[in-house]
């Protein structure tokens, strides 16, 4: 899978709130009064909830890794601290192009309002929006991401030049099948998505009502479907209000990935469970794409060899020098080198030019060069040249493509006179792409 990470969309800088703003109301599950305040936050903060009713006023990141439960709403947890039903406020902040905000609450759940995200849109407008001095980072999806659950939910994200959401809502026994599709901009979000209210099927919530678990629920903050009847304090706001509210939830849940995307999200029967599973997939794919450099503690000074140091040790030169830098040594017998694989490599024009792949034999050669650095760096071997004698148990596990960073690990397992044996492997994004056991002979130049 190959995706492009673009630093910004046209005229798109990060935004936060211009000032704090407060909303009071009742929570859905406990029915208790709650005060929520949205506050400005520095660039690259993202969204953070803060429980100011607790002694240490802890923060909880709006991060899919913090998702604890997804039944009827999305709950985040950090240890024993929880925040329930976070999707509406996150959806509103995302839809209104706010990137960084602190969300303070004096309870464990935001106000439910009328069951839509419109009250939060009004709160954001009350606070005002301020442009910050850092570009908004948007992930441009280049190949489809697909998720299908055993319950029948389907979410696919396909390439698009904008952020779009298309939702088909399918109720029990196919009731109230509805469709909604729209680009997501602040103007369209406020007008077409934010007013859509949450809805429930009576047979699903009756057991909870009987147990007193939805104390704040009423026809003022939810649409209740009983059989074919729609029960609500007011008429439906849209003929496809259910599908629009599902889009509202999708926007909020997907933002738990921490990444805005440029792509078209297509959903059939979405829910908080599938939504957050896709958010986790987005985060995982993004992290894999961006983590070209594993979390190494790179030593400084003489323990790091740049290209000039390497050329003093190895006789190889362009286009056959396949090590750009040695970034780590562990004693005298282990080291790690890197090779930045670019589209300008001389072998790509002839090696599958329409589907460029780094030749496997060159990966073996890169391993041999890193192992040679280990051996030739020893004082007794300086000035010698390493020659291949054999390569055993060589395996190639996946293609190496332009844009990859090849991490080459070598460990000398045996040295006898002028013969050395090394175990080597190449990795991309932390995954082994090739490996082998190499034998060398060191001869005078």
- Active site (catalytic) residues: 272, 351
Structure tokens at 90: 């996150």
Structure tokens at 195: 């007013």
Instruction: Tell me if 6 sits within 8 A of 140, measured CB to CB.
Output: yes
CA distances from 58 to 35, 50, 188, 286 (A): 16, 6, 34, 28
Kindly calculate the radius of gyration of the chain based on its CA atoms and give it in whole angstroms: 28
DSSP state of 301: G
Paired sense of beta strands 260-262 and 138-140, if any: parallel
Paired sense of beta strands 21-26 and 33-40, if any: antiparallel
Structure tokens at 375: 């051996």
Strands (E), 28-144: 33-40, 47-51, 59-61, 67-69, 75-78, 81-83, 101-105, 129-135, 138-140
CA distances from 40 to 8, 59, 100, 197 (A): 21, 15, 7, 27
Strands of the sheet containing 4-6, edge to edge, are 4-6, 138-140, 260-262
* Other beta carbons less than 10 A from residue 30's beta carbon: 16
Paired sense of beta strands 154-158 and 199-201, if any: unpaired
* Other beta carbons less than 10 A from residue 120's beta carbon: 27
List CB contacts of 299: < 8 A, sequence separation 6 or more.
Answer: 327, 328, 329
Instruction: Tell me if 305 sits within 8 A of 325, measured CB to CB.
Output: yes
- CA nearest neighbour of 3 among 297, 426, 401: 401
* Other beta carbons less than 10 A from residue 143's beta carbon: 12
């Amino acid at each position: 899978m190959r995706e492009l990470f673009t630093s910004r969309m046209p005229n798109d800088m990060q935004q936060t709130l211009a000032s704090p703003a407060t909303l009071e109301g009742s929570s859905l599950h406990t029915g208790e009064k709650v005060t929520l305040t949205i506050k400005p936050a520095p660039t690259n903060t993202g969204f953070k909830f803060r429980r100011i009713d607790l002694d240490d006023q802890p923060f909880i990141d709006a991060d899919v890794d913090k998702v604890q439960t997804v039944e009827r709403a999305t709950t985040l947890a950090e240890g024993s601290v929880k925040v329930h039903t976070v999707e509406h406020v996150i959806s509103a902040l995302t839809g209104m192009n706010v990137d960084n905000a602190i969300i303070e609450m004096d309870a464990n759940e935001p106000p439910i309002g009328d069951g839509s995200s419109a009250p939060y849109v009004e709160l954001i407008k009350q606070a005002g929006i301020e442009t910050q001095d850092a570009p908004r980072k948007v992930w441009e999806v280049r190949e489809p991401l697909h998720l299908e659950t055993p319950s029948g939910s389907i979410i696919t994200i396909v390439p698009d030049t904008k952020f779009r959401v298309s939702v088909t809502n399918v109720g029990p026994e196919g009731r109230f099948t509805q469709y909604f599709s729209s680009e997501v901009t602040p103007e369209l979000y406020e007008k077409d998505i934010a007013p859509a209210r949450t809805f429930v099927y009576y047979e699903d919530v009756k057991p909870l009502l009987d147990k007193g678990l939805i104390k704040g629920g009423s026809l003022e903050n939810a649409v209740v479907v009983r059989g074919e009847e729609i029960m609500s304090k007011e008429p439906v706001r849209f003929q496809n209000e259910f599908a629009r509210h599902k889009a509202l939830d999708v926007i909020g849940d997907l933002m738990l990935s921490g990444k805005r995307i440029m792509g078209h999200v297509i959903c059939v029967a979405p829910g908080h469970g599938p939504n957050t599973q896709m958010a986790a997939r987005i985060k995982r794919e993004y992290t894999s794409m961006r983590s070209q450099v594993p979390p190494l503690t790179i030593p400084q000074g003489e323990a790091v060899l740049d290209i000039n140091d390497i050329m003093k040790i190895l006789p190889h030169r362009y286009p056959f020098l396949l090590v750009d830098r040695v970034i780590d040594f562990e004693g005298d017998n282990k080291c790690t080198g890197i090779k930045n694989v670019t589209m300008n490599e001389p072998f790509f024009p002839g090696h599958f030019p329409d589907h460029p792949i780094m030749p496997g034999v060159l990966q073996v050669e890169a391993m041999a060069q890193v192992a040679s650095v280990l051996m030739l760096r020893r004082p007794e071997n300086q000035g010698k040249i390493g020659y291949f004698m054999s390569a055993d148990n060589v395996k190639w596990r996946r293609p190496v493509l332009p844009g990859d960073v090849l991490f080459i690990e070598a460990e000398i397992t045996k040295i006898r006179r002028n013969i050395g044996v090394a175990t080597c492997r190449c990795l991309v994004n932390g995954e082994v792409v090739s490996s082998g056991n190499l034998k060398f002979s060191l001869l005078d130049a």
